[in-house]
Amino acid sequence: SQQGEEDPQALSIQEGENATMNCSYKTSINNLQWYRQNSGRGLVHLILIRSNEREKHSGRLRVTLDTSKKSSSLLITASRAADTASYFCATDVQAGTALIFGKGTTLSVSS
Amino acid sequence: GAVVSQHPSWVICKSGTSVKIECRSLDFQATTMFWYRQFPKQSLMLMATSNEGSKATYEQGVEKDKFLINHASLTLSTLTVTSAHPEDSSFYICSALITGVRNTIYFGEGSWLTVV
């Protein structure tokens, strides 16, 4: 089962530009998390935002959560070539349950 | 370092054979683990929830007789792909749940399965 959609599906930008990815989900959630996945590799956890939080920052990452719209956005500022990867949002409906992933956004940052 | 170890990282097997993938929690006990499958250029799809000492709960559309899950100890869950076929070729990834004040999920590094 898939919780929702990310958009865009693919994003190509130049180094130094900002990248914004959006995630929508269908059900009420406990937490929303963002992960990065380099091609053919495992997941790297980026950031977790709780359902009662609206915004969170971590380094060059900024995540927002709008539970009324059931959506979240991930902003990567001053992007680097090393940010090239697929990005997924994942939600759990209740603490201790499985994470359900969105379809992902493939980000390509060219130097 | 890794808190969830998955083995093997990649495996090639012949069509019709079975292959086992292990997921181990390191330094903690995990009563619940989750198994996902990811086809190339697609997202992770939850296959099943594995609970220590009980039968796994499979997601709709996942054949429980084909994907055998065993969670015999608090640190180990295994996924056995039985009678593998080329269409089972995929990236399989597990995660383990640490329960507590704030439940935390850790992912393994994943296992690439190629069936030839």
Q: Per-residue DSSP letters for B5-71?
A: EEE-SEEEE-TT--EEEEEEESSS--SEEEEEEE-TTS--EEEEEEETTSPPEEPTT--TTTEEEEE
pLDDT band at B58 (very low <50, low <70, confident <90, very high): very high
Q: Which residues of B93-102 are buried (b: 16+ CB within 10 A; e: fewer)?
A: bbbbbbeeee
Best residue in B7, B43, B49, B99 for a mutation probing chain A (most A CBs within 10 Å): B43
Nearest-neighbour CA in chain B from A94: distance (Å) = 10
Closest CA to B93 of B2, B27, B16, B14: B2
Cα dihedral B90, B65, B79, A89 sign: positive
Check A88 against B107: CB less than 8 A apart.
no
Cα dihedral A41, B58, A71, B106 sign: negative
pLDDT tens column, A58-84: 999 999 999 999 999 999 999 999 999
- Is B114:B100 a contact under the CB 8 Å cutoff? no
Average pLDDT of chain B? 94
Check B59 against A101: CB less than 8 A apart.
no
**A22 alpha-carbon distance from chain centroid:** 7
CB proximity B69 to A under 8 Å: no
Query: How much of chain B exceeds pLDDT 70, in percent?
Result: 97
Q: Is the pLDDT of residue A24 over 80?
A: yes
